[in-house]
């Protein structure tokens, strides 16, 4: 079988040790591809290529902004031209419903366009400064950081890679991407597009392999100037520790256990549907998932009953058949999700609906879990404290606004949160108190390339997307100009 390879210094090449990994469709167990399984030495080689490209002739960073932008606009066009192929790859590789994969592809193209446009907008500033040494003038320029390593997870394979590649490249960096070893296929297709649009050799490099080897080597390398990572909090901690040697810049987009607060005055059907989007979108494999629903006590019975009624009606199935809930990405993730369900019951939460693997008919060949709702959850329960990353939600109740806020913030995470209420002032009051980086009022989970994305607390630091997302990949240089050249007369006064 053909082996998909690494892309280093403008050429496709096998892993140095010749190792390979089989990529499987979690929806039916079929083999999708065989890809290079890289080790440390491949990451070292990719970093060397990026370094030579950045610090050598610097073709990419020296290219004018408009020319760099033109290449990135071309990437966006080609992503759109191959939208169907890319969506099918992500749907089959990760298990997600096709229409969700299609939305990801559209977003990925828009992301390249956004940063191609942004790089041409005014950046930097001009400063009035003190005149202790005579008249001076200062300005700032935004420059690329250098060699950026980008490590991404499996839940949004194309989109997570794009959200880092587009700003990093727009800023003029040279990059090494290591996608999740479970879902590398759309990244490979994207790098074929990079090859077609003609990024200078070494500008964008792709290493396919596992985290502890290929990924760790990037985090630990003294030749990497910045590492940005999206993934679990535990891996983020190990990356931050490995990165300390050369004090490289670090960006971490990590896990969450986000509260979705529903007051009794909220639009009822809207709150139910958004709560479902909050926790069942992408099979619940969403970092910002509203996986803790905090509902006002007086509404609780009616709310949970309706939520369960609608959850039971969700269509579970193979991604390309466009179900509501697709396959869980891997056997290990399936076991993890089922383990959480088992322990939640054992700890006294009440199973309202779902709670099992789906084994009927064609689903039996894949990794499917029923959308699952637990109520009567208490703050000490594992289901309330830990991220499941699957279609499982914990429902708790509150009586007062203050109690809702305290419960919402009672977590080590701070990625996201939502509030549903018809009282606008209350919505804003609650939002002001929520310690999280991404929040929604009367909706849950929509995300935008234009707005910064990132967490508080143990959900990480730094921001992807928006203007902030570009600035993460830039250094700011201060340039001071003496307006009156000649002797200063400082010494010998």
Q: Which is nearer to ligand NAD, 82 or 178 (CB)?
A: 178
At closest approach, how far in Å is the CB of 253 from ligand NAD?
3
Q: Which is nearer to ligand NAD, 172 or 284 (CB)?
A: 284
Quickly count: other Cβ atoms within 10 Å of residue 45's Cβ: 19
Q: Which is nearer to ligand NAD, 113 or 463 (CB)?
A: 463
User: Which residue is closest to ligand NAD by CB?
Assistant: 211
CA distances from 216 to 186, 237, 290, 327, 479 (A): 22, 12, 30, 28, 36
At closest approach, how far in Å is the CB of 228 from ligand NAD?
11
253 is catalytic: yes
Q: Which is nearer to ligand NAD, 254 or 395 (CB)?
A: 254
Contacts with ligand NAD by CB under 6 A lie at 151-155, 178, 180-181, 210-212, 215-216, 219, 230-232, 235, 238-239, 253-256, 287, 387, 389, 415, 455
Q: Which is nearer to ligand NAD, 151 or 261 (CB)?
A: 151
Of residues 102, 181, 253, 472, which has the active-site annotation?
Answer: 253
At closest approach, how far in Å is the CB of 418 from ligand NAD?
16
Of residues 174, 287, 363, 377, which has the active-site annotation?
Answer: 287
At closest approach, how far in Å is the CB of 318 from ligand NAD?
22
At closest approach, how far in Å is the CB of 411 from ligand NAD?
13
Q: Quick check: 183 and 90 in contact, CB under 8 A?
A: yes
Q: How far is CA 175 from the centre of its chain?
A: 17
Tell me the catalytic residues.
253, 287
């Amino acid at each position: 079988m053909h082996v998909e390879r690494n892309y280093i210094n403008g050429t496709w090449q096998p892993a140095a040790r010749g190792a390979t990994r089989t990529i499987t469709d979690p929806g039916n167990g079929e083999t999708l591809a065989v890809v290079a399984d890289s080790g440390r030495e491949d990451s070292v080689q990719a970093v060397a290529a990026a370094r030579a490209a950045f610090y050598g002739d610097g073709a990419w960073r020296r290219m004018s902004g408009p020319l760099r932008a033109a290449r990135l606009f071309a990437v966006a066009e080609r992503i759109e031209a191959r939208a169907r192929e890319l969506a099918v790859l992500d749907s089959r590789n990760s298990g997600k419903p096709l229409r969700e994969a299609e939305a990801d592809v559209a977003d990925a193209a828009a992301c390249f366009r956004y940063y191609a446009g942004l790089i041409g907008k005014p950046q930097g500033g001009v400063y009035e400064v003190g005149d202790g040494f005579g008249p001076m003038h200062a300005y700032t320029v935004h420059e690329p950081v250098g060699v950026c390593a980008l490590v991404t997870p499996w839940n949004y394979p194309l989109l997570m890679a794009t959200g880092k590649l587009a700003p990093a490249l727009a800023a003029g960096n040279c990059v090494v991407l290591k996608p999740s070893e479970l879902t590398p296929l759309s990244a490979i297709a994207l790098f074929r597009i990079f090859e077609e649009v003609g990024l200078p050799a070494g500008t964008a490099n792709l290493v396919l392999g596992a985290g502890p080897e290929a990924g760790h080597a990037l985090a630990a390398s003294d030749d990497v100037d910045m590492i940005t990572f999206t993934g679990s909090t535990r891996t983020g901690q190990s990356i931050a520790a490995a990165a300390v040697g050369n004090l490289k810049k670090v960006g971490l987009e990590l896990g969450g256990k986000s509260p979705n607060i529903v007051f009794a005055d909220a639009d009822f059907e809207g709150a139910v549907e958004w709560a479902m989007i909050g926790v069942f979108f992408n099979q619940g494999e969403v970092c910002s998932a509203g996986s803790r629903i905090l509902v006002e006590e007086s509404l609780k019975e009616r709310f949970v009953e309706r939520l369960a009624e609608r959850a039971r009606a969700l269509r579970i199935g193979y991604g390309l058949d466009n179900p509501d809930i697709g396959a869980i990405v891997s056997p290990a993730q399936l076991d993890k999700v089922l383990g959480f369900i088992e322990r939640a019951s054992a700890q006294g939460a009440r199973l309202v609906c779902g709670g099992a693997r789906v084994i009927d008919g064609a689903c039996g060949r894949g990794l499917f879990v029923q959308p699952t709702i637990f109520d009567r959850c208490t703050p000490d329960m594992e289901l309330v404290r830990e991220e499941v990353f699957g279609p499982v939600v914990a429902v708790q109740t509150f009586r007062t606004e203050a109690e809702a806020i305290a419960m919402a913030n009672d977590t080590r995470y701070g990625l996201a949160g939502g509030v549903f209420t018809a009282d606008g002032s209350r919505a804003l009051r609650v939002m002001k108190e929520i310690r999280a980086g991404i929040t929604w009022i009367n909706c849950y989970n929509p995300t935008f390339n234009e707005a910064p994305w990132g967490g508080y607390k143990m959900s990480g630091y730094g921001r992807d997307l928006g203007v902030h997302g570009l600035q993460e990949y830039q250094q700011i240089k201060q340039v001071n100009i003496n307006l009156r050249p000649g002797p200063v007369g400082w010494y010998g006064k």
